[in-house]
Amino acid sequence: MKIIIISVTFYPSQSPRALRTTELAFEFAHRGHEVTVYAHLGDYDYREIEKKKGVKVKNIKTFFPMINSDGKKVGKFNNSILNKIFSKLFQFINYPDIELMFRIPSIIKKEKKPDLLISIAVPHSIHWGCAWGKKKCEKIFPDKWIADCGDPFMGNPFHKRPFYFKYLEKWFCNNTDYVTVPIEGAKKAYFEEYRHKIKVIPQGFNFNHLKLYNGIIANEIPTFSYSGVFYKNIRDPRPFLDYLCTREDKFKFIIYTKNHQVIAPYLNKLGEKIEFHDYIRREQLIYELSTMDFLVNFENNSEVQIPSKLIDYAYTKRPILSIGNNFDKSIVDEFLEGNYSKRLIVDVTPYYIENVVDKLLNLIK
């Protein structure tokens, strides 16, 4: 079967959507399918990946700068000052992601009727581009199209969209065969008339190559960790950190994030009790997390989204302390004392990539 996957990022990026794209592509190819991935690549050399994994990788060239698969902004127009100005002026057209909508039809035309097209959002302009490609190239459009949505667009509770984008969302939902979302609650974020097309297929990972610490956890003081992005008032660590500042006992909180500005005020307050790192490779991160007494999850406070990091957390087999906006401080006390009876339980089985790809293939059967 010939499969085309269109995404904004791919390996070696570690964003949730890049991981989604990478894991699906590798598993489909492992099963003998002919897989081509289109993404914003940058300068990374994919020859070894193509040879080793059996996946064709092709670049989506853009005029305006977008984050590429190496984590750098790449585009013919790459003036940082002007780009900031345009971002403010043209929010109403979803700049710069809107450009992808106009790049996709040429990909559809070039590939000439594959068996399956999987478009991966965010950004949702990839789905809009596929809908436009279907209109322009109907005779050679793929037999089946699955629009994968990690986060909702119009129904995203944390981002208010101009009303007219609903027509683009309805357009792609009307033209795709299926919309896939990671959790059941995400269905509520889409227009009711298209919910019959929505299937729950979670993020999937190949865990076979990952190594965990298998020894006895014997940290001298309670040692716990968090990895990921912070958002003020959404996935906000400040109430938790404020509470930690009131405690006089010894502990070590190790954080992996790029949100320096959120953590900075607490570095002096907590001193040696807090440790801050930039992101590291996922394989190394999971090993490091497996050495912790427990892991911290900051909830999204939304029924339609959950942090994908919970999958990696669950795989480490370490207790998970889940923190919402109004968290129970007594539970934090219990964790620091080694009582994990109120830990968050996550079953990792549905997230094995083999199970995820089986579900996708069952859709098109």
Provide the pLDDT for residue 308. 77
pTM for this predicted structure? 0.88
In order of 158, 221, 298, 307, 321, the CA distances from 234 in angstroms are 8, 30, 9, 11, 17
Provide the pLDDT for residue 64. 81
User: How buried is 142 (Cβ within 10 angstroms: 0-12 exposed, 13-18 middle, 19+ buried)?
Assistant: buried
Tokens of 100: 């992808």
Provide the pLDDT for residue 179. 98
pLDDT in tens, 294-322: 999 998 765 555 677 899 999 999 999 99
47 close to 58: Cβ distance less than 8 angstroms: no
Provide the pLDDT for residue 91. 66
Residues 6+ apart with CB under 8 A from 200: 180, 181, 182, 183, 184, 186, 187
pLDDT in tens, 196-231: 999 999 999 999 889 999 999 999 999 999 998 887
Provide the pLDDT for residue 36. 98
**Distance (Å, whole) CA 36 – CA 52:** 14
pLDDT in tens, 21-43: 999 999 999 999 999 999 999 88
Torsion of CA 122, 97, 115, 51, to 10 degrees: -90
Domain ranges of the chain: 2-205+352-364, 223-347
**Distance (Å, whole) CA 115 – CA 134:** 14
pLDDT in tens, 110-147: 998 899 999 999 999 999 999 999 999 989 999 999 99
> Side-chain half-sphere of 8: how many Cα atoms within 13 Å?
31
Tokens of 245: 């500042």
Confirm or reject CATH 3.30.470.20 for domain 223-347, answering yes or no.
no
37 close to 363: Cβ distance less than 8 angstroms: no
Same fold for the domain at 2-205+352-364 and the one at 223-347? yes
pLDDT in tens, 50-93: 999 999 999 998 888 777 887 766 555 555 666 666 666 566 77
**Distance (Å, whole) CA 203 – CA 352:** 8
Confirm or reject CATH 3.40.50.2000 for domain 2-205+352-364, answering yes or no.
yes
Handedness of CA 83, 156, 305, 274 (dihedral sign): positive
Query: Could you identify the residue written with the tokens 């459009």?
Result: 141
**Distance (Å, whole) CA 199 – CA 118:** 14
44 close to 57: Cβ distance less than 8 angstroms: no
18 close to 7: Cβ distance less than 8 angstroms: yes
